[in-house]
């Protein structure tokens, strides 16, 4: 029973979700929407679980004075500050000019932008390794990359007016064909995996 009940739920819900993709009728769509709303409700409860887990693990770290435990103090302090400013005026807390939004736009947002900007450096270092012409395939990759880069910047057009046209051709034909091939495989793989889940063949998470 411990296995059969969840597997039955998965089977019924899996088939129902599949069928709703093809049935626009309102009663079915409404039931589907109801299940989606349940899912959102469940997720909301899990956010509390996540926050509790985060607070507990960092509190334990401070208590045991584990490695870098000082960072946990900063984390818990900011968790508390954001929770306080997020709740103290209810819905109005997220209005412009409120402390919660001030902290979001002036602390969290710049920090996120900083992390994202690292990508520029990592793209450079990864490209440097990827574009070494060690064999024929790598040479093809290098040539395609050079053409595309030149086709996307004004200096490329200044060198030869045909670069943007060649770039578009590479992106629209060889590149698009390869992407579509991978996507077709992904879709078939997805159907196969979904069937394994629905039929209860794949259940590594609940033996």
Contact residues for another protein, defined by CB under 8 A: 18, 21-26, 29, 39, 42-43, 46-47, 49-51, 53-54, 57, 60, 67-68, 108, 111-112, 115-116, 118-119, 122-123, 125-127, 129-130, 179, 182-186, 188-197, 199, 201-202, 204-207
151: exposed, middle or buried (Cβ count in 10 Å: 0-12, 13-18, 19+): buried
Q: Which contiguous run of DSSP H or E holds residue 100? A: helix 99-103
Q: What is the 3-state secondary structure (H, E, C) of 27-79?
A: HHHHHHHHHHHHHHHHHHHHHHHHHHHHHHHHHHHHHHCCCCHHHHHHHHHHH
To the nearest whole angstrom, how small is the minimum distance from the Cβ of residue 110 to another protein?
Answer: 11
Closest approach, Cβ 129 to another protein, in A, equals 6
114/161 with CB nearer another protein: 114
Cβ at position 158, least distance to another protein in Å:
28
Angle at CA of residue 73, ends 67 and 77, nearest 5°: 160
Residue number with CB closer to another protein (129 or 136): 129
DSSP structural state of residue 104: I
Return left, alpha or beta for 97; rule: phi > 0 is left, psi -120 to 50 is alpha, else beta.
Answer: left
* Least gap, CB of 45 to another protein (angstroms): 9
DSSP 202: -
Residue whose CB is less far from another protein, 34 or 190: 190
CB of 165 to another protein, least distance (A): 23
Nearer Cβ to another protein, position 46 or 160? 46
Q: Which is nearer to another protein, 162 or 187 (CB)?
A: 187
């Amino acid at each position: 029973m411990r296995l059969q009940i969840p597997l039955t739920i998965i089977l019924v819900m899996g088939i129902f979700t599949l069928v709703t993709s093809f049935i626009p009728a309102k009663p079915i769509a409404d039931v589907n929407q109801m299940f989606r709303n349940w899912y959102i409700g469940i997720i909301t409860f899990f956010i509390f679980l996540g926050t509790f887990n985060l607070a507990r693990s960092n509190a334990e770290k401070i208590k045991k004075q584990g490695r870098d435990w000082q960072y946990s103090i900063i984390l818990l302090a900011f968790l508390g500050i954001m929770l306080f400013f997020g709740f103290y005026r209810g819905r109005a807390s997220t209005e412009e000019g409120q402390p919660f939004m001030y902290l979001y736009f002036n602390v969290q947002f710049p920090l996120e932008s900083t992390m994202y900007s690292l990508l520029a450096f990592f793209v450079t270092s990864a490209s440097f390794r990827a574009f070494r012409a060690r064999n024929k395939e790598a040479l093809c990759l290098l040539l395609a990359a050079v053409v595309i880069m030149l086709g996307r910047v004004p200096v490329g057009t200044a060198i030869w007016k045909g670069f943007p046209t060649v770039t578009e051709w590479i992106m629209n034909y060889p590149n698009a064909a390869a992407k579509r091939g991978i996507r077709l495989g992904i879709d078939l793989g997805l159907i196969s995996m979904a069937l394994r889940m629905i039929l209860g063949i794949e259940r590594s998470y609940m033996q």
